[in-house]
Amino acid sequence: MAVLRILATSLMIVMTATFVFVDAGDTNEVYSPCMDSKVERSDGFSFGVAFAPKEKFFYNNTQLSPCDSRLALSSSNSQISVFRPKVDEISLLTINSSSVTSDSSDYMVAFAGRRYAARSPPAFVANSTYTVTSFTLVLEFNKGRLQNLYWKRDGCAKCSGNSNFVCLNNQDCALKTTSCKDHGGTVDCSLGIQTAFSGTDKHLSVLNSWYEVENLRQYSLYGLYSNLRDSLTSEFNKFF
Ligand SMILES: *[C@@H]1O[C@H](CO)[C@@H](O)[C@H](O)[C@H]1NC(C)=O
Ligand SMILES: *[C@@H]1O[C@H](CO)[C@@H](O)[C@H](O)[C@H]1NC(C)=O
Ligand SMILES: *[C@@H]1O[C@H](CO)[C@@H](O)[C@H](O)[C@H]1NC(C)=O
């Protein structure tokens, strides 16, 4: 009994200490994805992901940041999710599939910043035929300022030979939308976005998590999320 109590107490202290440490480590006071920030390694970094039909991301044939009011995304029913991963850590961000509507063709764009605005190219997520559930997003910094956001793809190596998947445009492993739970199927088609950081922070420290992702061969984090198992490919079953 006493031992248990001591254990429980020290566990609480450890947890509190970790929390305080994490909290104190984040010096970035910018929480809006539509504002500029300059980060260091222990900071959190806010960015947004907007979901809409592809053409909604363009104005006069130019792709603008979703923060740009000329796109009028807010008046067109598009979904925006905001995330705040820790700089230089690998994070797996998930979005419940029910918030991604595949009634029309949905694309997503990751974005952050105002004067130093960066946005990713639109990535196909889902339509009534196909749903793509796993993505890797690289956030590239220069001296702590976001320079670039891009989707890292590794072809369809991870789903080749798996009959549950279809390879779209030689780059994305897609499930049939009818196999997703909210379309009458059995698979949880929640979206997973693994983020990694590259480049340098404001003290010129090198951000390494990108290399770690490569070494982990991506997707290792998915193993922690058992509900996402079904939407993953057999190559990664070894992690579960
Ligand atoms: C649209 O783009 C063209 C060519 O770049 C430019 O000449 C025109 O002024 C733009 N129109 C608007 C409304 O921004
Ligand atoms: C998504 O939301 C639905 C309904 O709220 C819930 O039943 C389901 O468990 C959620 N899925 C995940 C992965 O959180
Ligand atoms: C769904 O998207 C795929 C891949 O982009 C495309 O080939 C297909 O025509 C689309 N289907 C519908 C019904 O929009």
Tell me: pLDDT of 36 over 50.
yes
Per-residue model confidence as pLDDT tens digits over 7-26: 333 333 333 333 434 445 88
**Residue 1 belongs to some domain of the structure:** no
**Residue 156 belongs to some domain of the structure:** yes
pLDDT of residue 91: 83
Q: Higher model confidence: residue 221 or residue 57? A: 57
**Residue 167 belongs to some domain of the structure:** yes
**Residue 217 belongs to some domain of the structure:** yes
pLDDT of residue 155: 81
Q: Where does ligand 2 bind, in terms of residues with CB under 6 Å?
A: 96, 98, 188, 190, 227
Per-residue model confidence as pLDDT tens digits over 122-174: 999 999 899 998 898 999 999 999 999 999 887 887 787 778 889 999 999 89
Q: Is 124 in the pocket of ligand 3 (CB under 6 A)?
A: yes
User: The tokens of 19 are what?
Assistant: 């929390």
Tally of structural domains, the chain: 1
pLDDT of residue 186: 86
Ligand closest to the CA atom of residue 192: 2
pLDDT of residue 69: 87
Mean pLDDT of the chain: 78
- Nearest ligand 2 atom to the CA of 227 is 13
Ligand 2: residue whose CA is nearest its atom 5: 98
Cβ proximity of 76 and 56 under 8 Å:
yes
Q: Binning pLDDT at 50, 70 and 90, where does residue 110 land?
A: very high
Query: Could you tell me the residue range of the domain that residue 72 belongs to?
Result: 30-239
**Residue 51 belongs to some domain of the structure:** yes
Per-residue model confidence as pLDDT tens digits over 67-97: 998 888 867 777 888 999 999 888 888 887 6
**Residue 41 belongs to some domain of the structure:** yes
- Nearest ligand 3 atom to the CA of 128 is 13
Q: State how far the Cα of 194 lies from the Cα of 52, in Å rounded to an integer.
A: 20
**Residue 23 belongs to some domain of the structure:** no
Cβ proximity of 84 and 71 under 8 Å:
no
Q: Binning pLDDT at 50, 70 and 90, where does residue 213 land?
A: low
Q: From ligand 3's centre to the CA of 131, what distance in Å?
A: 10
Q: From ligand 3's centre to the CA of 126, what distance in Å?
A: 8
Q: Is 148 in the pocket of ligand 3 (CB under 6 A)?
A: no
Nearest 5 degrees, angle CA 8-CA 12-CA 13? 120
Is the whole-model pTM more than 0.85?
no
**Residue 17 belongs to some domain of the structure:** no
pLDDT of residue 181: 84
